[in-house]
């Protein structure tokens, strides 16, 4: 049987922690610049507010600060990609995708190998009337649920188109565009906001005109975000069980959601 790299070995191979650390550093370094861009008087974001009517100027200013912070937080990964060249953006996305694909594939294979042998932990000897240990049954039941979730995740990764220099921006800006849509921001204002961000950060994308932002960036970002949200909602049905308590099932679902959110960042 061929060697299956462990998660530790895959981390050593792809070094994803280096990229994740770079994202954190980039966000801290560029946070003031980001807020300055979002809060510029010409930025259309300031025209929108979660409250339809605010009577006091102080309340409006306070609400704007909260809104700008929320929008800025949604752009954490994006800020990192904004500071990279086309080649660097492509390389980062390809590296993280390769890591995640191999990670999911190897974990799925390991689980399938275990499930193939139902006598692990309780081998039979001739005629054995002894029932299988309840704890072992529970282990196999959990493994089967995780297997189903990993199969769905593998289908997601194999269905993705080839990563390009816009992929990192498309994926990382999904939540950002979703927040703008929740605010009721007009599409023309959304594009203006993005153009300002690109200009302020000197993004390496010569084709970044309004139509290109709409077709190549905004549309793809929203589609990817909605697909991920749909898949997150499906997790509950994957972990349906009559064996475990609601508390155990809830913990399994929560763990699966955390993993999926981490994987889908790239």
* pLDDT tens digits, one per residue of 79-107: 999 999 999 999 999 999 999 999 999 99
205-258: per-residue pLDDT in tens?
A: 766 577 888 888 999 999 999 999 999 999 998 898 888 889 999 999 999 999
Is the pLDDT at 131 greater than 90? The verdict is no
Kindly tell me if the per-residue pLDDT of 110 is higher than 80: yes
How high is the pLDDT of residue 54? 43
Q: Above 90 in pLDDT, residue 13?
A: yes
pLDDT at 226: 96
Mean pLDDT of 143-167: 93
Per-residue confidence band for 55, with pLDDT thresholds at 50, 70 and 90: very low
Tell me the pLDDT tens digit for each residue of 180-209.
Answer: 999 999 999 999 999 999 999 998 776 657
Nearest-CA neighbor of 35 among 201, 223, 227?
Answer: 201
> Taking the model in full, what pTM does it have?
0.85
Spell out the alpha helix ranges (H) of the chain: 7-14, 16-38, 57-74, 76-82, 86-116, 134-159, 167-172, 174-182, 187-201, 210-212, 219-238, 246-263
Q: How confident is the model at residue 58 (pLDDT cuts 50, 70, 90)?
A: very low
- CA 30, 35, 38, 39 torsion-angle sign: negative
Question: For the chain, how far is it from start to end, CA to CA, in angstroms?
Answer: 31
Work out the angle at residue 265's Cα, subtended by the Cα atoms of residues 229 and 142, and round it to the nearest 5 degrees: 65
Question: Is the pLDDT confidence value at 8 over 90?
Answer: yes
């Amino acid at each position: 049987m061929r060697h299956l790299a462990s998660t530790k070995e895959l981390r050593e191979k792809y070094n994803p922690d280096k990229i994740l650390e770079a994202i954190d550093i980039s966000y801290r370094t560029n946070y003031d610049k980001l807020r300055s861009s979002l809060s510029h008087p010409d930025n259309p974001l300031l025209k929108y507010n979660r409250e339809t009517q605010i009577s006091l100027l102080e309340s409006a200013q306070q609400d704007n600060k909260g809104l700008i912070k929320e929008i800025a937080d949604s752009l954490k990964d994006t800020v990192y990609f904004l500071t990279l060249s086309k080649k660097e953006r492509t390389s980062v996305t390809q590296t993280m995708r390769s890591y995640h694909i191999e990670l999911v594939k190897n974990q799925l294979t390991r689980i399938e190998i275990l499930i193939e042998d139902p006598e692990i932990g309780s081998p039979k000897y001739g005629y054995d009337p002894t029932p299988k240990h309840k704890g072992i049954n529970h282990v196999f039941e959990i493994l089967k649920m995780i297997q189903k979730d990993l199969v769905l995740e593998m289908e997601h990764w194999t269905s993705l188109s080839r990563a390009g220099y816009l992929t990192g921006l498309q994926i990382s800006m999904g939540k950002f565009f979703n927040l703008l849509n929740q605010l009721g921001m007009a599409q023309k204002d959304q594009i203006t906001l993005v153009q300002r961000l690109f200009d302020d950060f000197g993004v390496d994308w010569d084709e970044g005109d309004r139509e290109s932002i709409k077709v190549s960036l905004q549309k793809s970002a929203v589609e990817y975000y909605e697909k991920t949200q749909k898949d997150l909602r499906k997790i509950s049905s994957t972990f349906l069980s009559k064996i475990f308590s609601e508390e155990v099932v809830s913990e399994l679902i929560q763990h699966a959601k955390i993993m999926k959110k981490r994987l889908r960042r790239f």
